[in-house]
Structure 1
Amino acid sequence: MADRNIGEPITPTEEQLPEFEELQEFEPPEEAVANVIEYVQSVAIPGGSEGENPQFNGHNFQSARQSKQIPICIVNENQDIIEFVHDMINKKFFPEHGSTLIHVDANPDLLAPNTMPADESFDHSMLYLQHNYDRWILPNCYNGIFKKIIWVRPPWSEHIREDSVTFKVGKHKESSYINVDCKQNYFIAECLWTTSDNLTDAKNITLDCITLGNELSYENDCPEYWRAVLGENQTVPTVLDIDLEFFITENPYLFLYENTIVYELLRELFVFIRPTSQTDEAVTETVEMRSEQFKEIETYFNHLTQHHKLPDPEDIPPSPIYEKVAEIMAELERHGHDLKDVDWDLLYDCGHSFGDHEHPHHVTNSAELDLLFKSFENFLDEFYEPPSIITIARSDLEGYAEIEDRLLELLNSKFNCAVPIVYDQGNAVGVDSDSTCVSEDVDERGTDELEEFLEFLTLQTGEVDNSDASNANLALPEGQDDEEDVSEL
């Protein structure tokens, strides 16, 4: 090299200049990621948009059956499982219409939101705001997702007769709310019944009721009936929804304002008088009386919330309901409760739970729990086909972890289940295979997801982590080489 002065810039000769390839045009990051996601979905779900089954509205049912693992979603509140179901529908993993819900719970959860127009059942964002723990199934029958409901209950729950019934769910012509034409007292007590002539856009729904753990009532389970019910469902995509309150049932209202008789007074205030017969005239009269009862109670409770006292008797003629509300006020004040601090909305919700049957309460002991699990295991053995999706609701049950662990162990022994994911206020996180606690080393699907995904795309070596695909039951097809996938991406 020729001599040069220190600090003098180096000027390369033409022979020393490196050759550069012509600059390539790259897709914008958003389009690149979208294309990658589209590709991953096309290889993850066999058949993609082809081979659609018209019976199930584009859902490739056969591909779901052949997928490697069943997705499991765990939520705190039972109504939140429907967000996961909608997510599976959007991924074309589950059909938009005509499926079955096997609802294992101490409560049927078959009511409808009191103030939600039926059409909002098709608007998911509005539906999530309106439905709650006992009013989430019917809207998803009206919007067509579920055509059959199998309620599996413990022996201490008696809301609905153990039977099979087909009825219509539709939009009431006058109120535009969801109503049914089923004359079970469960629906009548909530003023949900109307004649089929008053329903528009009605769908036929089949409801089967099955009781497990009958030995607790000194009776026997009926596997023959289980087989008959499940046999009718063997070719239909199914959600197996399990609320842990099936095993231990707590009445959240039972201990309101302890050391008072407020709970008993609310039962008397909201008492339901059954129809004298099953004729349309008798049931209509009962629904009208029940509706007036609710309206009067709601008027007084709203007045108490705003003014902390009942309306002046001179302004509103006293009635039996007025006098019973006054008795509740006196009971609360007698035990030192300031009426300004009383949650009258909560008391109204408590009273509303007194339908034909009140909210069940049963603290299960160890021996009873063993029997229930054995009965539930026998029930699972009668499945002709595994469920498409499994969901679990904790329902804020204290000490749920032990029951949840035991349940997951049982489900994994019967089906090929994916690692469960937990939906917590809209975020999905993984669950350790050895624990129901959220795993510290599992990434949240939050704001860092895109960054981590792009980092994954830069990997040149190593095996593909397909855990997320397994969680969503979107495993790669058998025989497809992982390294080839990375190179193609």
Structure 2
Amino acid sequence: MGRRLGGSDGAIIFAAASFFPVDSKIRFKMSQRKMDPPMEAAIKKPRLSDSTPSVSSSSTPTNSPQSTLQSLSPVESTSSLSTPSDRKFKKIPIFIVDFHNDVLDFIYRSFATRHLPLKGNTLIHFDSHPDMVIPRSLDPQCVFNKYDLLDELSIESWIMPPCYAGHFDKLVWVKNSFCDQMPTGNYDFNIGDHDGEIRVDLPLDYFVSEGNYSKTDQLSNSKALNLKVINSDDLKDGDLEIQTSESGAVILDIDLDFFSVNNPFLALYSKADMYKKLQAIYSYDESGNRDEVANRRREQLAELEKLFTYLDSKRTLDSYENTSIPPDRYKLIVDLVTSIRGNYNDEEIDWILVNNAGNTSDNNGLPHHKSTDEELEKYYENFQKFLKGLNLAPTIITMARSTEDDYCPKDQVESIQTRVVQILHKVYGDKVTDNPIKEYKQDKWDVMKL
């Protein structure tokens, strides 16, 4: 299923690599596929949180919420973890980042200071993308150490690992009708460990296509989750009936590309019509039971990654030993390679990046809908109507601009952000802060002073 790529799990910023032929900075969401270590190290940025160094948690089981807290901060005792959040913010804070996975810095710090309970929270996620990919390379035990985990996550994969850790047990993805990665509905499912990988037993194409699906009886250490997928521009009876856990809190999360969104991959090697060609190469057969489809899909993605890694290293497929790609599909790859080479110099071509783009281009692909002013007004109205209809206030509000990766149009993001903050004040009044933390501008912040 088409998904965003980028973040620390293999980010690429075009401005830092002059040989890329796209005049933009795109932080690609490359799912579980890791970027070459030199590039990955070059683009990692320090986290701007107020969190303190971790301490040893040897006295606590590594798969417990208590161990999570100990990995977050040494300043709090773990004696009262069974209670709801002990502290209250003076006003609802608004934390604004550019890359969406960076909201976890603030969320996890709020766990550590007990402004948020460690488990049973509800995440209401306004976005043009689900962001629910599970990196297949992620060790399940990694979710119980903040610093290890945040280094592994990216903008497309930041939601489900905290679910496996127990922090979220209810997810609400609010989208617009131009987003079709998941059908609307109410889903009860499990998340657990399958032979050292975090997987779910929800047989939606989104998870099957990522190799993230397994049968229920193949999951260990599983936890129950509820996911509600809602179209904000086509609300149905019951959409606003969101049941939250008695001891949990509500986190309101907003990606500004919810209102207007680009597919940045459409501009990549466009003279070779790359994205359209990749869609045929990365499409997959959905026939058969979900387990069979997921297994075939994992094999397909592994073989394609192997091929493009070889091509990036050797710069040719002349000696490549194809063992599993069907001849007709292999011919499409050869045609793509020929077309890109015919339009770009070899030093301009990053074949790893081509594979990463392919990972977003399968049977559905990414949404691309730059909204008109009239459409934006409609989406603002729907957003406000939705929040008022919920009849509940969040404990914290997180927001992602998504401009550095070119998902939210740069010429619209400032006006969208201004309107969204205005709507939050209209809905929540003086309960919400007048001073959002703008992490993307390197604002300093301290949860204990909010």
Shorter-chain TM range is 0.7 to 0.9
Shift of 1:341: 2.9
Structure 2 gaps, min length 5 = 1-75
Q: Which residue of 2 is the match for residue 251 of structure 1?
A: 263
The one-letter code matched in structure 1 to 2:99 is E
Separation in 1, partners of 2:365, 2:298 = 18
Shift of 1:293: 1.0
Q: Which residue of 1 is the match for residue 339 of structure 2?
A: 331
Change (3 A) 1:179 1:110: same
Partner SS, residue 278 of structure 2:
helix
CA contact (8 A) 2:122 2:245 kept: yes
Shift of 1:50: 12
The one-letter code matched in structure 2 to 1:423 is E
Change (3 A) 1:347 1:385: same
Partner SS, residue 210 of structure 1:
strand
CA contact (8 A) 1:297 1:321 kept: no
Change (3 A) 1:428 1:84: farther
Change (3 A) 1:355 1:264: closer
Q: Which residue of 1 is the match for residue 174 of structure 2?
A: 152
Q: How many pairs were matched up?
A: 365
Q: Which residue of 2 is the match for residue 10 of structure 1?
A: none
The one-letter code matched in structure 1 to 2:170 is K
Matched, 1:242 2:257: no
Larger relative contact order (Cα-Cα within 8 Å, sequence gap ≥ 6)? 2
CA contact (8 A) 1:68 1:473 kept: no
CA contact (8 A) 1:160 1:184 kept: yes
Alignment partner for residue 82 of structure 2, among 6, 29, 54? 54
Separation in 2, partners of 1:209, 1:107 = 11
Alignment partner for residue 225 of structure 2, among 205, 230, 235? 205
Partner SS, residue 347 of structure 1:
helix
Partner SS, residue 106 of structure 1:
coil
Matched, 1:407 2:417: no
Shift of 1:53: 7.7
Change (3 A) 1:407 1:473: farther
Q: Which residue of 1 is the match for residue 41 of structure 2?
A: none
Q: Which residue of 2 is the match for residue 16 of structure 1?
A: none
Shift of 1:235: 6.7
Change (3 A) 1:249 1:315: closer
Structure 1 gaps, min length 5 = 1-47, 215-220, 277-281, 430-443, 446-467, 476-489
Q: Which residue of 2 is the match for residue 33 of structure 1?
A: none
Partner SS, residue 147 of structure 1:
strand
The one-letter code matched in structure 2 to 1:408 is V
Q: Which residue of 2 is the match for residue 479 of structure 1?
A: none
Larger radius of gyration: 1
Separation in 2, partners of 1:392, 1:128 = 17
CA contact (8 A) 2:193 2:219 kept: yes
CA deviations over 1:152-201 (Å, ceiling 9, x no partner): 001101111111111111111x2x01111111111001111111122111
Shift of 1:346: 1.6
The alignment-based identity, stated in percent, is: 26
Alignment partner for residue 165 of structure 1, among 167, 174, 187? 187
Alignment partner for residue 397 of structure 2, among 386, 390, 398? 390
Counting only pairs closer than 5 Å after superposition, residues 74-89 of structure 1 correspond to structure 2 as 74-89=96-111
CA contact (8 A) 1:234 1:384 kept: no
CA contact (8 A) 1:296 1:321 kept: no
Shift of 1:275: 3.1
Separation in 1, partners of 2:331, 2:243 = 53
Shift of 1:383: 2.2
Counting only pairs closer than 5 Å after superposition, residues 297-312 of structure 1 correspond to structure 2 as 297-312=304-319
Q: Which residue of 2 is the match for residue 44 of structure 1?
A: none
Q: TM-score, normalised by structure 1?
A: 0.70
CA contact (8 A) 2:185 2:229 kept: yes
Q: Which residue of 2 is the match for residue 262 of structure 1?
A: 274
Change (3 A) 1:341 1:409: same
Separation in 1, partners of 2:418, 2:320 = 57
Q: Which residue of 1 is the match for residue 47 of structure 2?
A: none
